Amino acid sequence: MTSPLKQSGTYWMHSHYGLQEQSYNSAPLIIWTPEERSKADRQIVVMFSDFSVTPAEQILKDLKRGMQSTGMKESSPGKKMDGRASGQMTGNMGSSPSEVVAQKWDDHKQRLVRGMVRAPEAEIDVKYDALLANRRTLDDPETISVNAGESVLLRLIAASSNQNFYVDTGGLEAELLAVDGKAVQPIKGNFFQLGVAQRLDLKVTIPKEGGAYPIVAQGEGTELLCGVVLTTKGASVPKLSRTASISTASLDNTQEKKLRALSSLSNHSIDRTLPAALGGNMATYVWTINGAAYPNNNSLNMKSGERVEIAFTNPNRYGTSDAFAWA
């Protein structure tokens, strides 16, 4: 017996057993509907990932040893967690401001763009040796044949273990159509933020004159680059560098604040609020929800048709919290 699909779009699947995710035990999972198939003339999946010559087990061991050497304690409201450890740690927490790449909102043109700001480099835990797009570096990027004048939907997946990205579509104006498999009101731009495990659907149109069009991702807090190249017949593929000349700022809420659901929830009061308190211990590098680390049996249960608000609290040094509703 089959049942109708309740969701569709760009997803991905990956192992949570041990450290298999860091060993690329993952794959795209596109849930098709006629509507999804009709979004563009051509659809392309691009998975971004991070790579280190150091085995994942050693990276985690170094992270825990480094954090313990700083005397880190469990996170609690109002307490700072300063300092970085050696080994795979980058040591850039508290770095002085410098010129870095960031995403900005162009209010005049109503679009997301690349900009330069004076700010500290992004704080990252692991410094990788390379970034990959569809398992390849920019030394030998995947070149994808497209036709002049056709529309292309880029289904972008951050299949990385610890790396966030900024995605640059260069000379191609893009429309952000969906985030994490959920349709949003289109947002134009050529510079987008993509967090770990997140998915973005970007629609671009290949110019009528054709050519080669790199779609490049830069790692947050690094100069590392990866990407694919869209090419029309006869176009020469440019030589691309694996590194940028300048690092990036941290991902922020510039993009998130512009997101609006294409189909909003119906007007309905909240039946219940469920807490989701984020926590962690920097010394052991373990992270929790409501005091439990993955995997655990402490699920947030709800009934069919019930409108539930999940209140996320994050008692880290920034003291942030938010709430979201599901029905």
Per-residue pLDDT tens digits for 129-176:
999 999 999 999 999 999 999 999 999 999 999 999 999 999 999 999
Helix and strand counts by DSSP (H, E) for the chain: 2, 19
Q: What is the mean pLDDT of residues 298-325?
A: 76
Q: What is the mean pLDDT of residues 306-318?
A: 82
Q: From CA 212, how far away is CA 193, in angstroms rounded?
A: 23
Q: From CA 237, how far away is CA 221, in angstroms rounded?
A: 28
Residue in this structure with the two tokens 């054709």, named with its chain if needed: 210
Using CB atoms within 10 A of its CB, is residue 268 exposed (0-12), middle (13-18) or buried (19+)?
exposed
- pTM equals 0.86
CATH of 9-52+94-255, one of 1.10.1660.10, 2.60.40.420, 3.40.50.1980, 3.20.20.70: 2.60.40.420
DSSP, residue by residue, 1-49: -----S--EEEEEE--STTGGGGT-EEEEEE--HHHHTT-SEEEEEEEE
Of 13-27, 196-210, 280-294, the range with the highest mean pLDDT is 196-210
Higher pLDDT residue, 263 or 113?
A: 113
- Domain(s) labelled CATH 2.60.40.420 in the chain stretch across 9-52+94-255
pLDDT band (50, 70, 90) for residue 94 = low
Please write the tens of the pLDDT for every residue from 203-250.
999 999 999 999 999 999 999 999 999 999 999 999 999 999 999 999
Residue in this structure with the two tokens 């294409």, named with its chain if needed: 262
